[in-house]
Structure 1
């Protein structure tokens, strides 16, 4: 079982064109950004509906209060024209019914937006899981905080597990360390013999970042922060 995992890791390192999925991390990031944009749009639409609903409610309450005032018996007897009073009362009832109908329609739209929001949140979570799977297919372990080691038969290039920015390079004899920063994680790879990047370089997944002259166990340290959840 262990030998199969080593073979799988070597296969992906030797043939970069082979991936767990035809979708790259860059593609997934674009999809996540698009979904997050959808969440913002849904929140804005829901806010607009909420404000519109409040306006209709205020009008309804005002008409209701007016109706209560008109229902006062003494006010009815003071009116010289009873037909005018009942006509106005009927008109108010019609407007109130129309307002209630509109408020209920807005409520249904809000429920649809809530469903769309929750669905989009789930899709973002699934995309992040898929991104982690691409990472796992390359290095053989999950993209989450922890200390890991993978064995690489040298001489061979060392490929970037994810896209990010080179934040730090520490030079030691036969033990060069590279630190990569992503949106939520910091990844450290060490024991490299040579490097192909510089501090500040923006790298892509599976880009050659270094080289080893002999077979080595490459230590990998991952530290990730939890991304705050978007509030509706």
Structure 2
């Protein structure tokens, strides 16, 4: 689980972000903080993986607060000011959300948080197979567990995520989906295909067999196959 706090001086911002987070099963709320000083005190006594951080706050501005932290949790900036985006990425923030932001945009930001890296919290031992991501398909958000994904196929401007019991079509680039998948469990074997290692039945010549599906292996991706046997 990703333990998070909200740091913002506006109550309505807390309500919106908390409301979005309550829908996502991999997020656990820790505390509301209405300025940076409250956030500092919270971080002293709580294990936090993610901060939703506003920039224009009293006492101490968002980035000034961030610079005071020796080992900062992951940070998603939530602000109405786009002019500070460059500085934010120089501080290694995960994402920069401009208010008002949609639930879809919010999910994309949260999906970028890599919970396998625990610089602050060492409590969570959740396996990648138990995690999931949300995909937007046909105007709704579908939760898909990593362990259920057989392979991903790029088809034109869309990708098709194939599980053991369904296919989900998403308007995304295959490279964007690859960045969200656990790298030790998924491998790109063709410009149009990503496969799940655990579901591979056979590798024969230039093709991979997964259930009743045949996946081609691209020449430039053959080196990726070596990692399958490590």
Q: Structures share a fold, TM > 0.5?
A: no
Question: Rg bigger for which structure?
Answer: 1
Taking structure 2 as the reference length, the TM-score comes to 0.20
- More strand as a share of residues: 2
- More helix as a share of residues: 1
Taking structure 1 as the reference length, the TM-score comes to 0.20
Q: Indicate the structure whose relative CO is greater, using CA pairs within 8 Å and at least 6 residues apart.
A: 1
